[in-house]
Amino acid sequence: MLERQTKDMINIDPLQTGGKLTEEARRALIEWGDGYSVCDFCTGRLDEIKTPPIYEFVHKTLPDFIGCDVARITTGAREAKFAVMHALAKRDAWIVMDSNAHYSSYISAERAGLNVAEVPNTGYPDFIITPEKFAEVLEETKRKGEVVLALITYPDGNYGNLPDVKRIAKICQDYDVPLLVNAAYAIGRMPIKLKEIGADFIVGSGHKSMASSGPIGILGMRGEWEEIVLKKSSRFKNKEIELLGCTARGPSIMTMIASFQHVRDRVKRWGDEVKKARYFSSKMEEMGIIQLGEKPHNHDLMFFQAENLYEISKTAKDGRYFLYKELKKRRIHGIKPGLTRFFKLSVYGLTYEEVETVLEAFREIIKENIR
């Protein structure tokens, strides 16, 4: 039996807090675990399968949920970004993206053969991407060549900052550049709708934020992009080229569907999650651990600077691994082994009792180890 060490621990890894399966999804995972299980009644395209109800989910539930005209399932957020970039790419063309972007945004651009222009953030301690800077870089890059796409990370995966995406969308419109909103940390956690933002594309990650086993992502767009991004093969008339004909064909889509009711409900409780994150942040700061990024914070993903833990690590028996080990001893998982000075975490979905357990752990660790 392959056992997972961390199964029953309190998990504060931002990467994992929104991807934990619901009971419904756990059952779906077993039920649909066989290879190609969802293809029993496929007539040629994943999103058109009526039994199980994938058609309903992709063409009605999802567009309604994320406020777009057209939606598709992809194998992950990165595959969704790559599909858009590849469809819009031209020789020597550019993509403008925020410097808080995820590595997979850069790699997708690289694979699509696009030049990348970065919008710098405001630096320490807030690291904010401002609409003004976004406009500036768009302006500069337009002078260098054709800008086929802009990308904004909302929120970013480092600081959990939520840039002013509506204003950025307006700016992109003014420059006539389509905008992709990378909402890997938003869709499934917080309310977000493409049309309300005024952007062209939106991307989500099922295993990160939609209680799905994955790998699975979602791609939403305005209707006007359908023919370009979802262009069909000349040879296989119903297969969409950028999706390589088919994507998440198995338990990943079934867990997403199984969890959806829960996901839709939890998004409505987003305000409570932000309140909890702010509470946690304020208690950490009382211990001398400073939260970087936007303050007060607007997302569950938080980035901390802990000079006191860093000092302890210099003389601790386990060196920089001491924090990881101390937390592990207290059945808390999610801060990367070896980090003490800068780390991110999330208390998304935790009960207040669990939040107190985590806070008490930090208090104890500081008290017991400080000299």
Ligand X SMILES: *Cc1c(COP(=O)(O)O)cnc(C)c1O
Residues in contact with ligand X by the rule CB under 6 A:
76-78, 102, 104, 153, 157, 182, 184-185, 205, 208, 217
Q: How far is the CB of 216 from ligand X (least distance, A)?
A: 7
Q: How far is the CB of 202 from ligand X (least distance, A)?
A: 12
Amino acid at 58: V
Residue found under tokens 């970039």: 85
Is the Cβ of residue 152 or residue 284 nearer to ligand X in the bound state?
Answer: 152
Is the Cβ of residue 80 or residue 361 nearer to ligand X in the bound state?
Answer: 80
Q: How far is the CB of 358 from ligand X (least distance, A)?
A: 22
Q: How far is the CB of 184 from ligand X (least distance, A)?
A: 4
The secondary structure of residue 32, as a DSSP letter, is T
* DSSP result, 59-126: IIIHHHHHT-SEEEEESSHHHHHHHHHHHH--TT-EEEEETT--HHHHHHHHHTT-EEEEE----TTT
3-class DSSP state of 156: coil
Whether the CB-CB separation of 157 and 205 falls below 8 Å is answered with no
Structure tokens at 259: 């969890």
Q: How far is the CB of 364 from ligand X (least distance, A)?
A: 31
Is the Cβ of residue 157 or residue 251 nearer to ligand X in the bound state?
Answer: 157
Is the Cβ of residue 63 or residue 155 nearer to ligand X in the bound state?
Answer: 155
Q: How far is the CB of 151 from ligand X (least distance, A)?
A: 10
Is the Cβ of residue 63 or residue 76 nearer to ligand X in the bound state?
Answer: 76
Helix axis angle for 131-144 and 165-174, nearest 10°, is: 30
Rounded Cα distance between 349 and 18, Å, is 8
CB-based contacts of 348-353 (< 8 A; 24+ apart in sequence): 348/14, 348/17, 348/18, 348/189, 348/273, 348/277, 348/300, 349/17, 349/18, 349/20, 349/266, 349/273, 350/10, 350/12, 350/17, 350/276, 352/276
| Half-sphere exposure (Cβ direction) of 189: Cα atoms closer than 13 Å | 30
Task: Give how far the C-alpha of residue 325 lies from the chain's centroid of Cα atoms, to the nearest Å.
Answer: 27
Is the Cβ of residue 11 or residue 182 nearer to ligand X in the bound state?
Answer: 182
Is the Cβ of residue 299 or residue 316 nearer to ligand X in the bound state?
Answer: 299
Rounded Cα distance between 94 and 6, Å, is 42
Is the Cβ of residue 184 or residue 312 nearer to ligand X in the bound state?
Answer: 184
Q: How far is the CB of 269 from ligand X (least distance, A)?
A: 21
Of the candidates 219, 227, 228, the residue with the CA atom closest to the CA atom of residue 199: 219
Q: How far is the CB of 370 from ligand X (least distance, A)?
A: 34
- Rg, the chain, Cα only: 21
